């Protein structure tokens, strides 16, 4: 009798579990039917061999999303939702949308705005092996702490202080380019910009010049570039997802050396600045400083989860996010100014009206002036996004504006780059036109529709720093040099999409001293 009762109980529990599992997943699969999908094949789903080539990734995304704003793409049995419409993904501050989303939340406990709700990045674990664990790839709870640590270091008050270093570094960059200007040689500027950005950011973070570490900066810059390529490759190679296999692959291919190179400089900086943390902090008696290194010192004392290793990882991830993206944007903007001589002349006139020949740029110049240059920078960001996409996982169901429901537990690829090319927002989205960011044109679009820095809780904390840095570099270069390029135009086929949109043909620029040309 007892046996029968146990047996019946087991059968009931198993049956109920299966039923519940089916019920839960039934809804998931029913909801997927709302979205279009390309024709699928057994086992592989929508995956084709050409889709796994990193250089062709942009073609794949465009091909898959060509006819629909929302598409389900099957990688084998795993569905991924691709979104490219601003309305679906962004957090508009428009009053109508605010009330719309509030009523949705109030009545349905859902929200249609993906970026506002999904703070967890998907595939974060794939980077931890190389990149440590910090703001970009930590768990939700730990990410919140990282963000709290970093945000005050990029407040408006701190940004004003950083401008002196930015201007000094940009001036050093102009001096470096003189070598190429004298020889008349065309040069790919990106590498110089990346190293210049690293030097400036680390000086602003620590308050100490790291100019003496030229070799280490160069090694770090190379490692950042190699790392970004490696992560893109791993994301497109599911067989490398298990850490053990990836580890073996890295050892066999010698990529393990890259990890050492990537961590060497941040480790040195954290060790030099945070050893004897208690004495240093107390002796300085300055607990109001918002410089990142001081915030890190305080965090080290007050919160045991901020170990030396974690702070090193925070520094590594922040520097990587900041310097690579900014160097891409300055490179593309210089290339655009070289291709659009009329815009370059306008930028030059704006600079010469603001400052005299040898006058040093101030924080006021960078923060409050050079509006046309800023339009050129923003338009370049829109067309050549340094962060083209983000991958999130929905934590709960989301109701979109037209009542379509995104299932919970869904991997969502948010295509910032395609959202920035929307014909509903920009008349001629594939043409570089700084007037897209004139005051009038900006006011005519919904607020928050330009997504190059993302929106919502995981948006870029360094966006103002990025604009100031790029303004400082370009203003100083254009004041001294006339820029030209041998490229006739940049076609879609000349571009590739890693995490960033990049030029396959580089960023070749010829610098001619202004006095020689008389312009």
Q: For residue 167, count other CB atoms closer than 10 A to its CB.
A: 22
Binding mask 310-329 for ligand HEM (x = CB under 6 A): --------x--xx--xx--x
The residue length of the chain stands at 519
Q: How far is the CB of 116 from ligand HEM (least distance, A)?
A: 11
Q: How far is the CB of 510 from ligand HEM (least distance, A)?
A: 24
> Do the Cβ atoms of 418 and 84 come closer than 8 Å?
yes
Count of residues in contact with ligand HEM, rule CB under 6 A: 25
How far from 52 is each of 83, 230, 237, 410, 501, CA to CA, in Å? 20, 14, 7, 21, 17
Which residue's CB is nearer to ligand HEM, number 89 or number 181? Answer: 89
Which residue's CB is nearer to ligand HEM, number 158 or number 441? Answer: 158
Paired residues of 393 in beta bridges = 411
* 460 assigned binding-site residue: yes
How far from 261 is each of 27, 225, 348, 489, CA to CA, in Å? 47, 11, 39, 36
Q: Which region, judged by CB under 6 A, interacts with ligand HEM, from 19-27, 78-86, 456-464, 505-513?
A: 456-464
Query: Which one, of 471, 472, 473, lies nearest residue 511 by Cα?
Result: 473
Q: Which region, judged by CB under 6 A, interacts with ligand HEM, from 2-10, 186-194, 334-342, 455-463?
A: 455-463
Count Cα atoms within 13 angstroms, Cβ side, for 136.
22
Bridge-based pairing state of the strands 481-484 and 186-188: unpaired
Which residue's CB is nearer to ligand HEM, number 320 or number 344? Answer: 320
- In the list 365, 458, 471, 482, the residue contacting ligand HEM (rule: CB under 6 A) is 458
| H helices present in 340-452, as ranges | 341-354, 363-368, 371-383, 416-419, 439-444
Which residue's CB is nearer to ligand HEM, number 250 or number 466? Answer: 466
| 378-417 positions binding ligand HEM, by CB under 6 A | 381, 386-387, 390, 416
Which residue's CB is nearer to ligand HEM, number 82 or number 387? Answer: 387
The angle formed by the CA atoms of residues 148, 92 and 147, to the nearest 5 degrees, is: 10
| 80-109 positions binding ligand HEM, by CB under 6 A | none
Q: How far is the CB of 332 from ligand HEM (least distance, A)?
A: 10
Question: Which residue's CB comes closest to ligand HEM?
Answer: 462
Which residue's CB is nearer to ligand HEM, number 47 or number 413? Answer: 413
Q: How far is the CB of 422 from ligand HEM (least distance, A)?
A: 16
Does 46 participate in binding ligand HEM (rule CB under 6 A)? no
Q: For residue 364, count other CB atoms closer than 10 A to its CB.
A: 11
Which residue's CB is nearer to ligand HEM, number 191 or number 255? Answer: 191
Q: Which residues contact 417 (CB under 8 A, 6 or more apart)?
A: 385, 388, 389, 497, 501
Q: Which region, judged by CB under 6 A, interacts with ligand HEM, from 45-53, 366-374, 399-407, 462-470?
A: 462-470
Q: How far is the CB of 340 from ligand HEM (least distance, A)?
A: 19
| 362-381 positions binding ligand HEM, by CB under 6 A | 381
HEC states along 488-505?
A: CCCCHHHEEECCCEEECC
HEC states along 222-277?
A: HHHHHHHHHHHHHHCCHHHCCHHHHHHHHHHHCCHHHHHHHHHHHHHHHHHHHCCH
- In the list 454, 473, 476, 485, the residue contacting ligand HEM (rule: CB under 6 A) is 454
- In the list 306, 465, 507, 511, the residue contacting ligand HEM (rule: CB under 6 A) is 465
Q: How far is the CB of 122 from ligand HEM (least distance, A)?
A: 10
Which residue's CB is nearer to ligand HEM, number 63 or number 120? Answer: 120
Which residue's CB is nearer to ligand HEM, number 314 or number 482? Answer: 314
Q: Which residues contact 357 (CB under 8 A, 6 or more apart)?
A: none
Binding mask 265-304 for ligand HEM (x = CB under 6 A): ----------------------------------------
| H helices present in 109-241, as ranges | 114-117, 125-131, 140-150, 156-183, 190-206, 214-235
H or E stretch covering 412 = strand 411-414
Binding mask 434-453 for ligand HEM (x = CB under 6 A): ------------------xx
Q: For residue 487, count other CB atoms closer than 10 A to its CB.
A: 18
Q: How far is the CB of 189 from ligand HEM (least distance, A)?
A: 15
Which residue's CB is nearer to ligand HEM, number 143 or number 426? Answer: 143
Alpha-carbon distance 196 to 206, whole Å? 16
Alpha-carbon distance 330 to 273, whole Å? 30
| 120-149 positions binding ligand HEM, by CB under 6 A | 121, 135-136, 147
Paired residues of 419 in beta bridges = none
Query: Which one, of 258, 193, 188, 254, lies nearest residue 228 by Cα?
Result: 258
| Binding positions for ligand HEM, rule: CB under 6 A | 121, 135-136, 147, 318, 321-322, 325-326, 329, 381, 386-387, 390, 416, 452-454, 458-462, 465-466
Give the residue ranges of the annotated binding site for heme.
460
Give the residue ranges of the annotated binding site.
460
């Amino acid at each position: 009798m007892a046996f029968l009762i146990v047996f019946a109980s087991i059968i009931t529990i198993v049956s109920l579990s299966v039923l519940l599992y089916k019920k839960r997943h039934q809804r998931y699969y029913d909801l997927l039917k709302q979205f279009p999908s390309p024709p699928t094949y057994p086992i592989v789903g929508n995956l084709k061999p050409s889709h796994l080539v990193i250089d062709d990734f942009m073609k794949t995304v465009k091909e898959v999303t060509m006819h629909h704003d929302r598409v389900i793409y099957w990688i084998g049995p795993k569905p991924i939702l691709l979104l490219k419409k601003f309305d679906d993904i962004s957090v508009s501050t428009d009053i109508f949308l605010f009330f719309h989303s509030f009523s949705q939340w109030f009545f349905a406990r859902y929200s249609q705005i993906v970026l506002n709700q999904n703070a967890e990045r998907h595939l974060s674990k794939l980077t931890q092996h190389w990149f440590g664990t910090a703001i970009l790839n930590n768990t939700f709870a730990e990410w919140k702490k990282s963000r709290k640590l970093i945000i005050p270091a990029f407040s408006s008050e701190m940004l004003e202080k950083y401008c002196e270093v930015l201007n000094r570094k940009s001036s050093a960059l102009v001096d470096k380019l003189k070598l190429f200007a004298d020889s008349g040689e065309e040069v790919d500027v990106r590498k110089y910009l990346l190293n210049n950005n690293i030097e400036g950011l680390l000086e602003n973070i620590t308050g100490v010049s790291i100019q003496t570490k030229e070799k280490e900066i160069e090694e770090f810059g190379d490692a950042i570039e190699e790392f970004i390529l490696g992560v893109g490759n791993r994301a497109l190679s599911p067989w490398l997802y298990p850490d053990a296999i990836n580890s073996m692959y890295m050892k066999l291919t010698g990529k393990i050396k890259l990890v050492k190179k990537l961590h060497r400089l941040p480790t040195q900086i954290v060790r030099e600045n945070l050893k004897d943390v208690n004495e240093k902090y107390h002796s300085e008696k300055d607990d109001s400083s918002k410089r990142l290194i001081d915030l890190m010192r305080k965090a080290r004392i007050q919160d045991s989860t901020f170990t030396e290793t974690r702070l090193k990882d925070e520094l590594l991830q922040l520097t990587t996010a900041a310097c690579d993206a900014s160097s891409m944007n300055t490179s593309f903007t210089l290339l655009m100014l070289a291709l659009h001589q009329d815009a370059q002349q306008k930028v030059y006139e704006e600079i010469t009206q603001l400052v005299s020949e040898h006058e040093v740029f101030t924080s006021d110049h960078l923060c409050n002036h050079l509006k046309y240059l800023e339009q050129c920078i923003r338009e370049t960001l829109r067309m050549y996004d340094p962060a083209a996409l983000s991958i999130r996982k929905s934590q709960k169901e989301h109701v979109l504006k037209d009542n379509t429901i995104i299932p919970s537990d869904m991997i969502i690829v948010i295509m910032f780059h395609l959202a920035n090319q929307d014909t509903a927002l920009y008349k001629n989205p594939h043409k570089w036109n700084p007037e897209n960011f004139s005051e009038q044109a900006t006011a005519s679009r919904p607020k928050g529709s330009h997504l190059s820095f993302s929106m919502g809780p995981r948006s870029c904390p360094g966006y103002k720093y990025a604009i100031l840095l790029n303004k400082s570099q370009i203003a100083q270069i254009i004041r001294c040099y006339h820029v030209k390029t041998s490229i006739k135009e940049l076609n879609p086929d000349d571009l590739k999409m890693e995490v960033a949109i990049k030029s396959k043909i580089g960023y070749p620029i010829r610098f001619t001293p202004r006095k020689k040309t008389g312009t």
